[in-house]
Amino acid sequence: MIAIRSFRPWVGACALAFLAALAGGALLSLASEALRGGTEGFAAFDSYLWRVARFTLVQALLSMLLAVAFAIPLARALHEHPAFPGRALILRLFALPLALPALVAVLGITSIYGRNGLLAFAFSSLGMDTIPNIYGLPGILLAHVFFNLPLATRLVLASLDSIPSDYWKLAAQLGMGGWARFSLIEWPVIRRNLSGIAGLIFMLCITSFTIVLTLGGGPRATTLEVAIYQSLHFDFDIARAVSLTLLQLGLTIAVLLLLGLTGKPADEGFSLQTTTRRFERPGRAAQCVNTAIILLGLLFVGLPMGGTVVSGLGADLARLMSESIVWRAIATSIVLGAAAALLSLALSLSLVIAREYQQSRRRTVSPGLFERSLDLGASLIMVVPPIVIGAGWFILSRHAINPFSLAPVMVIGVNAAMAVPFAFRILRPAWDTAASRHNRLCLQLGITGWDRLRLIDWPALRLPMGVAFAFAMALSLGDLGTIALFGNDSIQTLPFLLLQRMGSYRTQDAAGLALILGVLCLLLMFAADRGAASLARQDNARDG
């Protein structure tokens, strides 16, 4: 192309610099703290630390295995019955846990499997005196499977949907049975994507914070993330926090490297499912089994959500809503969430625009270092768990100012960075497609600058920007990690207030707050989902 100086690479470089500074600053602060502590810092590598590390790995491994093992039959059943009543609704329901705040889910799970939950009620009315105890490993696994089974199901279903429809015609013509179809057609495709899916879930579980904080606890069921938080928040033991953080970082990087070796992480499962037409008629027995599997999966995911609503409605909502502290928390959450979403959008868009610009300018086949960093920067931020970033800046800032006064900045910055991988993946395809359609045309017609933004880019970007904003805001609203470190009486978000009420055993209040928080997030997800749906329709209809 004839070179025109463009600001685009600079915008991307700025976004990259922000992410690097946010994560790098935290890591540098921790490193310097570790060196300053001399041997004291490393003495903290004691048996407690290893036990925590082992538990972190074990719970993540078990959560991953359970989620994937249940997801495969569930996805198969859903795929085999494209006309299953309410199938679209089920898939929509399965998209919700992605943005459902972990605290809300924890309360929902407690309302079903907890001491006073539905299950306990069922047991006692059957005359059994088993009282379920979900605190510890079982509860953590339940919650992790609740979150990741739907995700895994959607991802496996997406890979099944990628099978060419001719295969199904062929399978029907050749009269393949269920097992032959599975082993010859479905399994090869699933296996190809499995390492990515399993790796993603393992990564999510290894960095899980809220679930372990609320359902685990105690030295026997603590993960590294929670141990970092406890050592900073309760013991103020910086040396221990540093060694825990280093261990956590080493672990996530090792997992990511392993993932890189075994296969690419799968898509985020946020895209809308298309349905493949199937041509064979499943037998009666297979139909019954599939129906049972789908219903079980639906109950497993739906019951805790229903439980949240029921116990939330059981709370004294009128009194809650008359408390000014609740309103303040709602307002704080919305303001911080919106700010984080806006920042996240700006960062992601900058990365996307700069990446596409670099790509369009190169003549070589393989991307250069800068282009690759723009791509990687968006996902690499996932390596550094928010609690680590929070911990680093917490320790760094305490020399200069009261770290608690940093709360709003940290919450916005960290949540924005954490939403970047998702926003990037929503924006990038929309921008890249629009750019590939419009670049030459705009260049020839001389449509540049403000004219191009107003007439060409904004119409193409409006919808994906809305989707990304709603999704990023839903993620930020539910965050507990950063606010748990920095939160205090002067700045409280809804999840923070919720955690406080849970801590003081005001269960009813907590349930009510969970309902409010859940509804806020679901409204945003609903908006994002609607947006994504019309985006897909637009894509199908568009052919300029």
Nearer to other proteins, 175 or 544 (CB): 544
Binding to other proteins by residue 277, rule CB under 8 A?
A: no
Determine the residue type at 229: Y
Nearer to other proteins, 51 or 437 (CB): 437
Binding to other proteins by residue 456, rule CB under 8 A?
A: yes
Nearer to other proteins, 133 or 436 (CB): 436
Binding to other proteins by residue 5, rule CB under 8 A?
A: no
Binding to other proteins by residue 441, rule CB under 8 A?
A: yes
Nearer to other proteins, 488 or 538 (CB): 538
Nearer to other proteins, 4 or 369 (CB): 4
DSSP 274-317: P-----S---HHHHHHHHHHHHHHHHHHHHHHHHHHHHHHHS-H
Binding to other proteins by residue 4, rule CB under 8 A?
A: yes
Q: End-to-end CA distance of the chain: give it in Å, rounded.
A: 23
**Measured distance CA(274)–CA(517) in Å, rounded:** 31
Binding to other proteins by residue 444, rule CB under 8 A?
A: yes
CB 421 within 8 A of CB 379: yes
Please pick, from the candidates 86, 250, 283, 459, the single residue that binds other proteins as defined by CB under 8 A. Answer: 459
* Three-state secondary structure call for residue 101: coil
CA distances to 71, 150, 151, 256, 423 from 155, rounded to whole Å, are 9, 9, 6, 19, 18
Binding to other proteins by residue 445, rule CB under 8 A?
A: yes
Please pick, from the candidates 285, 400, 446, 489, the single residue that binds other proteins as defined by CB under 8 A. Answer: 446
Binding to other proteins by residue 451, rule CB under 8 A?
A: yes
Nearer to other proteins, 289 or 447 (CB): 447
Q: How many CB atoms within 10 Å of residue 328?
A: 14
DSSP state of 493: -
Binding to other proteins by residue 503, rule CB under 8 A?
A: no
Binding to other proteins by residue 365, rule CB under 8 A?
A: yes
Binding to other proteins by residue 460, rule CB under 8 A?
A: yes
Residue count (the chain):
544
Kindly indicate which of the ranges 57-65, 217-225, 390-398, 430-438 contains the residues binding other proteins, using the contact rule CB under 8 A.
430-438
Contacts of 290 (CB under 8 A, 6+ apart): 76, 77, 80, 81, 282
**Smallest separation, CB 471 to other proteins (Å):** 23
CA distances to 122, 136, 236, 285, 337 from 114, rounded to whole Å, are 12, 12, 32, 35, 31
**Smallest separation, CB 4 to other proteins (Å):** 6
**Measured distance CA(79)–CA(81) in Å, rounded:** 5
Binding-site ranges for other proteins (CB under 8 A) = 1-4, 363, 365, 436-438, 440-441, 443-448, 451, 455-456, 459-460, 541-544
